[in-house]
C-alpha cells in the first residue's frame, strides 16, 4: 500500500474509532473520552492536507462530469490541473517529513496499547483483561445505548440548525454527526443486518451528499483566496454560479434524506435498537 493511500485509510479508521468512543462515552466518562478523542483528532490533522487537496481535484471533476455538456470544451481543465499539481506538492511535503509520520504512527501505537488494556466484563476468562483504573465496559446494550442515542440526538439537532439557517459550517457539523452515527450503526449491524445495513447505507449516502456540498464550498473559497488557480474572471464567475446551483441541489436532497433518517426521537431510536439487540441475544 502506498503512503498516501495508507494516510487516507488511517484518517478513515480514526473517524470510526472516534465514533466508537462516542458510543461508550457514558461508560468511560467525559475526561477519558475527550483525551482519547483529541489524541486521534490531532494525529489525523497532522496529515489532513493530503486528503483535503485530493477532494478538491475530485470536486472539479464531478463538476465537469455533471455540467460538461453545457460548457465549452476545456472549461475548468486548467483549474483541475493546477489543483492536481498543488495536491502533489502538499503530498510530497507530508510524505517526505519522516518526523511527522513517526509522530503520527507513535500516537496511534500508544492509543492501541491503551485500548488493548481497557477492562472488559466477560464471563469467559480467555478474554479477561488485566486490572485498570478505568471502568469496565460490559457486554450489554446499556454500555452503548445511551451513547448511540446521544449521537442520534446531536445529528438531529445539527440537521434542524442547518434547516433553520443553512451555512457551510452548520452543514459540515451535521455531516460529522451523520458519519459518527453511520459508523455506530455499522458496528451494531449484526443484530439485524437487513435493517441496520440499510440504515448504514442511507447514512453513508447522506454523508456523501453533505460531503459533496462541503467540497463545493471549499473549492469556491480556495479559488477566491488564490485567484492564480483560475486567472480568468469569467471562468471564476462561472464556477461560482455552477457551484451555487449544485449546492442547492445537494442541500435539498440532504434535507429530504435527513428528515427520513431522523424522523424518530433519540430515545425511541435507542429503544428500537435495544429490541433488536435483545432478539439477537436470545
Residue 126 pLDDT: 46
Q: In percent, how much of the chain has pLDDT > 70?
A: 93
In this prediction the pTM is 0.90
In a domain, 66, yes or no: no
Residue 230 pLDDT: 94
In a domain, 52, yes or no: no
In a domain, 14, yes or no: no
In a domain, 86, yes or no: no
In three-state form (DSSP H/G/I as H, E/B as E, the rest C), the secondary structure along 164-184 is HCCCHHHHHHHHHHHHHHHHH
Residue 270 pLDDT: 96
Q: Looking at residue 141, what DSSP letter applies?
A: G
Mean pLDDT value across the chain: 89
Residue 238 has pLDDT above 60, yes or no: yes
Lowest mean pLDDT among 123-137, 183-197, 236-250: 123-137
> What are the CA-CA distances from residue 220 to residues 117, 166, 229 (Å)?
46, 17, 11
Number of domains in the chain: 1
In a domain, 60, yes or no: no
* Radius of gyration, CA atoms only, the chain: 22
In a domain, 96, yes or no: no
Which is more confidently placed, 73 or 269?
Answer: 269
In a domain, 65, yes or no: no
In a domain, 109, yes or no: no
CB 132 within 8 A of CB 116: no
Q: How many CA atoms lie within 13 A of 267 on its CB side?
A: 0
Lowest mean pLDDT among 15-24, 51-60, 79-88, 125-134: 125-134
| The dihedral formed by the CA atoms of 77, 78, 82 and 85, expressed in degrees to the nearest 10 | 60
Task: Note every long-range contact of 82-90, with CB atoms under 8 Å and residues 24 or more positions apart, other chains counting.
Answer: 82/228, 82/229, 82/230, 83/53, 83/56, 83/57, 83/229, 84/57, 86/53, 86/229, 87/53, 87/54, 87/56, 87/57, 90/49, 90/50, 90/52, 90/53
Domain extent, residue 170, equals 140-282
Tens digit of each residue's pLDDT (9 = 90 or more) over 28-45: 999 999 999 999 999 888
Residue 133 pLDDT: 60
Amino acid at each position: 500500500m502506498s503512503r498516501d493511500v495508507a494516510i487516507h485509510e488511517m484518517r478513515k479508521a480514526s473517524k470510526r474509532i472516534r465514533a466508537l468512543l462516542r458510543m461508550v462515552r457514558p461508560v468511560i466518562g467525559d475526561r477519558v473520552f475527550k483525551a482519547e478523542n483529541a489524541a486521534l483528532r490531532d494525529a489525523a490533522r497532522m496529515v489532513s492536507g493530503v486528503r483535503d487537496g485530493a477532494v478538491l481535484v475530485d470536486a472539479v471533476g464531478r463538476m465537469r462530469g455533471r455540467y460538461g455538456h453545457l460548457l465549452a470544451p476545456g472549461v475548468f481543465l486548467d483549474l483541475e490541473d493546477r489543483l492536481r499539481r498543488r495536491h502533489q506538492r502538499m503530498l510530497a511535503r507530508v510524505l517526505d517529513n519522516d518526523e511527522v509520520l513517526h509522530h503520527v504512527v507513535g500516537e496511534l501505537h500508544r492509543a492501541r496499547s491503551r485500548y488493548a488494556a481497557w477492562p472488559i466484563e466477560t464471563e469467559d476468562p480467555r478474554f479477561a483483561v488485566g486490572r485498570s483504573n478505568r471502568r469496565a465496559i460490559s457486554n450489554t446494550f446499556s454500555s452503548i445505548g445511551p451513547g448511540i442515542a446521544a449521537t442520534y440526538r446531536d445529528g438531529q439537532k445539527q440537521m434542524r440548525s442547518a434547516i433553520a439557517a443553512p451555512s457551510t459550517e452548520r452543514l459540515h457539523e451535521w455531516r460529522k454527526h451523520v458519519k459518527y452515527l453511520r459508523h455506530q450503526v455499522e458496528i451494531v449491524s449484526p443484530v439485524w443486518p437487513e435493517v441496520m445495513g440499510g440504515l448504514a447505507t442511507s447514512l453513508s449516502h447522506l454523508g456523501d451528499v453533505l460531503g459533496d456540498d462541503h467540497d463545493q464550498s471549499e473549492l469556491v473559497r480556495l479559488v477566491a483566496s488564490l485567484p492564480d488557480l483560475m486567472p480568468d474572471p469569467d471562468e471564476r464567475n462561472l464556477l461560482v454560479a455552477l457551484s451555487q446551483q449544485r449546492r442547492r441541489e445537494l442541500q435539498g436532497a440532504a434535507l429530504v434524506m435527513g428528515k427520513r433518517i431522523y424522523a424518530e426521537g433519540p430515545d425511541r431510536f435507542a429503544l428500537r435498537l435495544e429490541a433488536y439487540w435483545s432478539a439477537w441475544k436470545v
